[in-house]
Structure 1
Amino acid sequence: MTRSYRVDDLVDFNVYPLDETVSPEYKVALSQAREQLQHDGCAVIKNLLRPTAVKIISQEIIARKQTTHFSTSSMNPYFHSTKNSDYPDRHPVNTFIERSSGFIPGDSWDSSLAIDVLFRSEALTAFIRDCLETDSVYCYADPLAGLTANILDPGQQFAWHFDTNEFA
């Protein structure tokens, strides 16, 4: 029997009341995340997920590992694979590193899974939007690339790179 999850099964709403944006707890969490983003460029929201949620999501990922699409390529930090003669050899644009990893594609998940419930949660999306102080945040609608899990087996590497997203 497949279990259906609600966001509050996965996120402790007593600590992170995503459904009560005017509560003191929400405001504290928001303030802490914004401060980290301002200072460090990233935020760690400790214990956002219940320990049981982390375990469930880990099991969901492991159960779908056989659907992983693996690839190996050599690329620079800008996702290019050819040398650019406009720059010196030692310039990062001409520095190529192996990238060997995989991802579980979006069509491997279904709406009953905890990971999908979090991905599509309006409350969690609104919290992220509030943390980022932006007007809109959308779930990526691509059926393969929308919700993915990166997989690295021993010996594989996900090379350092510049993300082209405004935030990730």
Structure 2
Amino acid sequence: MRTYEDITPLMKSLGHALYKYTVIDRKDFDFGVGVNLFPAEIHMLEAINCRNGVGVTELAEEFGVTKGAISQLINKLVKKELVVKEPASDHKSRVVIRTTPKGKTACQNHREFHREHNKLFTQYLEQLDDKSFNTVVELTNQLNLWMDNYLK
């Protein structure tokens, strides 16, 4: 059985990786369309791009935030000419958000960005045998539970 002292170096290493993630999560990137986007913006853009029009309520439910927070983010994307807001054809008081051609290009470049930057880690995961891969899956689940405990 491992002791707390045995596990502490691993916890510190995980902490360093999580810290690096938070640094990256606050950094903006240009995905080839002439405007910088923060991770929250490009991920929202991706969520919109995956649909042929989506409403604020659906996005708020998906992201687990308020409709007001979604509206603020959408307005930033509108100003950057990455999305447009249109009245819904079936319900005039409802607004539908769609990506523009510039937004579609940003999404495509974002996926390429991740394909390239994730290549080594993806290759590592691909070569794992089933037992090792399942261990990583379980570790990921446990990491999420660990972080959920801090959000309570």
- Between structures 1 and 2, the one with greater helix share: 2
Give the alignment's TM-score, normalised by structure 1: 0.27
Q: Which structure would you say has the larger RCO, counting Cα contacts within 8 Å and 6 or more residues apart?
A: 1
Give the alignment's TM-score, normalised by structure 2: 0.29
